[in-house]
Structures are given as structure tokens and as C-alpha cells.
Structure 1
Amino acid sequence: MMFDMEQLDLARSYKLLSSSIVPRPIAWVVSQDANGVANAAPYSLFNFFGGHPPVVCIGMGRLKGRDKDSLANIRATQEFVINMVTAPLAHAMNTTAVPFPTGVNELEKAGLETLPCMKISGCRIKSSPLALECRLQQIIDVQPSSVIVLATVQAMHIDDEYVKDAKRCYIDSSRFVAIGRMESPGWYTTTAGRFVMRQLSVEEWEASRISSVRK
């Protein structure tokens, strides 16, 4: 079956993509407004798109043409933090997704403690094992319903227990048990189930083909 995306409305187009492009990592964004009032919200249209400079992108919707609190704060301060969501933090993350009125501190509602950032203003979630301090680089307007937030990572915080070799930047990501978003509205998965496939050289690939033919 072929879906002509140009013939679909926003709701159906989003439904197709969000249920097909899975799993998606979750950016648990902590930002603050010009007065220092904190806000937290999860976004699953997220990934990193470059290592040097370290670039991350987040897709953020605009409800009825208006910025959500996270986006309004990012525009105002040019800074924000991305926290990793692990399985034990799933319910706290879900609390911060509740559409509280502007000015409500979702971190307090979820019972989350914070730590100060080092390179930017604001705070990060203490119980999250990984946090990225980010500085806004560009906001790309995607008419009519969303924007893409492009940012550079200024600092990364990782709990010591997940660092295998700090000098060589080796991280034991298998221990995070991070959660990812599946199809809408409420399905999630974790990174607990993993398997290994090593990158093959051309010679190794050809040898494996010969071996499989012989069998």
C-alpha cells in the first residue's frame, strides 16, 4: 500500500510516521524562562547529527501556531538541557508531559531533584544518568505546525558507574536501560534487549558468502 503524504492532514501524517519510525530516543528537555522558572518536557523527535561539532536536533510542535513552554524558553535564553530517560524514570517523565499551565514547574510536580549546570545557566535532572548541556544554534521553521531546534552540546554529564574509560571516552551504554518511544499514543520500549553485529570488511563479507554457499 502506498500513502500519498501530500494528501493527508497533519494528524494522519503524524500517525503514520510516529508509528513507523521506531524506536525513537527521548530528549527530556529542561529549560528555563527569562525569570529563571524551570520547565521540563519530553520530546521523541530527537537525535544527534554530528560529532564535531557535537550537534543535536529536536522536533518541537507548535500548538495552534503558538510555542510550547520549552520552545518559548529556548528562544528566550538560547540554552537548555537534554536528560536521558531510563526505565526507573519513566513515570516521572510521563508526569512532565502533563499539559500544566505556563509557569508551573514540572520538575517539582514529578518530585525530581536538580543539579546546576556548569557551562550554561539552568539545571539538569539529578537522577538522570546522562545530561547534555546545549546552546541553541538555529531554529528552523517547518510550516505550518512545528520547528526543528538545532543546538551544539557544550558539556556532557555521565554518572561515573557508566564510564568504562574516561580518557578514551568509552561508555557502557548497555547499562543505561534507556527508554524509547514507539507508536503513539502510549507505547514505549527499552534498550534492555540487544544483539551484536560487527562491521565487516569487504574481504570478511566475501568469505562469509563463500562459507554459506558451501554449507
Structure 2
Amino acid sequence: MMKLVLSALVFAAASTSFAADVYKIDTKASTVAWKGSKKTGSSHDGAIGVKAGEVTVDKGQITKGNVVMDMATITNADVKDAEYNKKLVGHLSNEDFFNVTKFPTATFALKTVKPSVKKGEVTVVGDLTMIGVTQPIEFPAKVSVEKNTVTGEALVKIDRTKWGLKYGSGNFFKELAGDKIINDEFELTLKLIAKK
């Protein structure tokens, strides 16, 4: 009986030592910056708050993870006129774009992290859910896994029309011209920190 108990304890200890580690996203230290541009070359930029998330690491490798962005916190950084800034943020928040009242969060669910041909980078594969639509995305990133911290940085280029965000798209509204045309692709710059 004693031998059976000892065997169980050894097995439990071994299982624990090889258990995957879960790191929680530090929402205050993590940032998501956005940038959108028009066909004429002008652009706007700002930030989106990180609401929650976690990363699972098994034997030093990231196996899964998720990041939840709080779309209701979207801000603009380049427009200095307070009234126009408020108008722009309001437009981004309404039904023409992210419809934050109905869809207050956007989520990225990481599926795999693959080696990249570029030194010091990996390729991240996962699903991005915005305005109730989920689409697969893939992007290069720099990731560091330490004993108590996981960090990741990436520039993600997104074709918004795949999520149904067609406002101002010259590919869908042929009558648009000049600065009325908003590029389909926008950028998210991610700087994420997760801790045990």
C-alpha cells in the first residue's frame, strides 16, 4: 500500500513538473496601436486598450493564447482639434466601422507559432474576431519566452473588408474618388507582455 502511495506521489510530482505554464496578459503594460490611411496618402492613428488575455507555454514553446481588445476604448492621436477628434472616434465606433455598442470587444485567438525564415522572428497563426466575424490571419512577430515573462511584438496588416468593413472602400464603391477612398488595409502594432 505504501509503495502504491509513493508511486502516485512520484507520478503527480512528475506531471506537475511538466505541466504547461499560463501567463496572464499585463493589460496596463501591453499596447495595441492602429493606423488607417487614405488613397491620397493621409492617415490617422491611435490606440485600443487591451482588456484581457493569456498565453500558454509548454517546454519553452507557446502553444496557445488569446488577446481581448476593448473596442470601446479606441482613441485617435493625430487630430489635435478636440471636436474633430471626438467626431472621428465616434465615426470609428459607429456602424460604419467597429459598431462598439453591439461588438464591444475584438479577440485574437492564437493557434500556432511557427519558425520563420527571417532570423529572430516567428510566424503567428490564429483567428481574429471583429464585429462578430472571425477570419484567419498570419503575421511575423518577435517573441521572447522567459521564466516569468512572455513578450511579443508584431506589425499586423489587416484587410478590413474580409470582416465586412467596407465603408469608403474604392473596391466596393466605384463612385468614390480622391480622399474619400479609405485603404482596405489597416495596421495594428502589438506590444504584448504576459506574466506568471
Q: Is the structural similarity TM-score above 0.5? A: no
Greater helix content: 1
* TM-score normalised over the length of structure 2: 0.26
* TM-score normalised over the length of structure 1: 0.25
Greater strand content: 2
Greater gyration radius? 2
